[in-house]
C-alpha cells in the first residue's frame, strides 16, 4: 500500500471519472457508483481473479499471474493467454496506478478481507483514478452471497445463481453428513505445506478453514488461542499431535514423506493416509482461498467420511470443472489431476 501511495499526485491528471448509472453497496458497506454496463474488470488479487473467471471470464483484463504450462489444459482456451497484469493487494503486490490506468478498467474489485486496511486502499485508488473499486467479503460463510453480489454488479445474475446454488447445496450436503458423524469419529488432520511439510496453518487460519468446515479436527493449534495463520513447527511437534490424516499440496513432500524416518512415527503416514491435493488450475485447499476451494470441499468430504458420503470423485471433478472453469476434461486430464488425490503411495 505504501508503494501505491508514491507518486499518486502525479497521476491525478490521468484519472477519468466514470459516468455512473447506478449505486452498489459493497461488503464493507460502501456506496460505490458503477457503470450500468461493465465490460472490463481488474481483479485486485488472485482470489478475485478466480471469482471473475468463474462468473464472467469475458470481462477479464488479465491474470494476476500468468498460468503455468501444467495449468493451461484446465483453463478454457480463449482465456489461457490473457496477459499477466499483477495484483494490487496481498503479499508481493506488483501493480502501480499508472499500469492500472493503462488497462482501462470499468471496475476494480477485491475478494477477501474487508478490514480497514483494504477499505483505505480501495478509497485511495478510487479517489486518485476515478475507477470504481468495490470490496467483496471472501469468508467461507459468505461465499454464496459474494457470488450473487458480483453477479448482480456485472449483470450475470443467471450464471451467478447457478454457482451460488452449487455452493449452497454442497455445504448443505456437508452439514447433513456431519450431523451423523460424532465428534470423536472425525479425522484429526494436519495440513503439510512446503517441501518439508513443517509449515502449517493453525486452527482458525484461512489456510485450514476448508478442513475445519468439512468437520476435520485441525491438530495444529495455539493453546493460548491468541495466534492464527501460518507457522513453522518442528517434526517433534507433528509427532506429538499425531494426526491420522495428512493433507498436502506439495508434490516434493508427498514423494519423500513415505521414506522420511522422522515421519514414520506419525499414524497418518503409517496408515497410508497422506493425500496430495490437486492444484491445477487452482489449488483445492487454498493457494489462493477463493471459489476453487469448493472442489476441495467435495474431495475432503469423500476422504473423511467415505461410509457416509458416497461419491464418484472423477465425475464430481468433471462436473465441477465444466461448471466453474468452462472446460470439459478428457480422461487423460482427469488422470493427471487426480493421480495421488486418493492416497496411492508412489
Give me the residues paired with residue 329 across strands: none
**pTM for this entry:** 0.92
Task: Express as a percent the part of the chain with pLDDT over 90.
Answer: 85
Residue 337, C-beta contacts closer than 8 angstroms, at least 6 positions apart: 74, 278, 280, 317, 329
Q: What is the largest distance, in Å, between two alpha-carbon atoms of the chain?
A: 64
Pick the range with the lowest mean pLDDT from 58-62, 85-89, 210-214, 334-338.
85-89
Q: How much is the mean pLDDT over the chain?
A: 92
pLDDT at residue 3, as a whole number: 45
Task: Express as a percent the part of the chain with pLDDT over 70.
Answer: 92
Which domains, ranges and CATH numbers included, belong to the chain? 2-171 (3.40.50.1980), 182-337 (3.40.50.1980)
Is there a contact between 74 and 327 (Cβ–Cβ < 8 Å)? yes
Model confidence at 9: pLDDT above 60: no
pLDDT band for position 18 (cuts 50, 70, 90): very low
Model confidence at 10: pLDDT above 50: no
pLDDT at residue 345, as a whole number: 53
pLDDT at residue 97, as a whole number: 85
Amino acid at each position: 500500500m505504501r508503494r501505491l501511495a508514491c507518486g499518486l499526485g502525479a497521476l491525478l491528471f490521468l484519472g477519468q471519472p466514470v459516468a455512473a448509472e447506478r449505486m452498489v453497496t459493497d461488503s464493507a458497506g460502501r456506496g460505490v457508483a458503477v457503470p450500468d454496463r461493465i465490460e472490463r474488470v481488474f481483479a485486485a488479487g488472485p482470489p478475485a481473479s478466480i471469482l471473475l473467471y468463474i462468473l464472467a471470464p469475458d470481462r477479464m483484463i488479465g491474470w494476476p499471474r500468468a498460468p503455468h504450462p501444467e495449468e493451461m489444459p484446465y483453463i478454457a482456451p480463449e482465456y489461457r493467454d490473457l496477459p499477466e497484469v499483477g495484483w494490487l493487494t496481498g503479499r508481493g503486490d506488483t501493480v502501480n496506478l499508472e499500469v492500472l490506468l493503462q488497462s482501462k478498467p470499468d471496475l476494480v474489485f477485491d475478494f477477501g478481507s474487508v478490514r480497514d486496511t483494504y477499505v483505505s486502499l480501495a478509497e485511495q485508488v478510487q479517489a486518485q483514478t476515478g475507477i470504481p473499486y468495490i470490496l467483496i467479503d471472501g469468508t467461507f460463510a459468505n461465499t454464496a452471497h459474494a457470488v450473487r453480489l458480483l453477479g448482480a454488479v456485472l449483470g450475470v445474475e443467471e450464471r451467478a445463481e447457478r454457482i451460488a446454488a452449487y455452493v449452497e447445496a454442497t455445504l448443505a450436503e456437508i452439514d447433513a453428513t456431519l450431523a451423523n458423524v460424532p465428534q470423536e469419529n472425525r479425522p484429526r488432520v494436519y495440513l503439510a505445506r512446503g517441501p518439508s511439510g513443517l509449515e502449517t496453518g493453525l486452527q482458525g487460519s484461512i489456510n485450514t478453514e476448508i478442513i475445519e468446515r468439512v468437520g476435520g479436527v485441525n491438530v495444529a493449534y495455539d493453546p493460548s488461542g491468541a495466534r492464527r495463520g501460518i507457522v513453522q513447527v518442528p517434526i517433534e511437534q507433528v509427532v506429538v499431535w499425531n494426526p491420522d490424516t495428512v493433507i498436502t499440496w506439495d508434490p516434493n513432500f508427498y514423494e519423500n514423506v513415505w521414506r522420511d524416518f522422522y515421519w514414520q512415527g506419525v499414524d497418518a503416514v503409517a496408515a497410508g493416509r497422506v493425500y496430495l491435493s490437486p492444484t491445477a488450475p487452482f489449488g483445492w485447499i487454498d493457494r489462493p482461498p477463493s471459489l476453487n476451494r469448493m472442489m476441495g470441499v467435495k474431495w475432503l468430504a469423500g476422504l473423511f467420511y467415505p461410509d457416509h458420503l458416497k461419491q464418484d470423485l472423477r465425475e464430481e471433478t468433471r462436473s465441477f470443472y465444466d461448471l466453474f472453469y468452462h472446460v470439459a476434461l478428457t480422461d487423460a486430464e482427469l488422470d493427471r489431476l487426480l493421480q495421488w488425490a486418493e492416497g496411492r503411495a508412489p
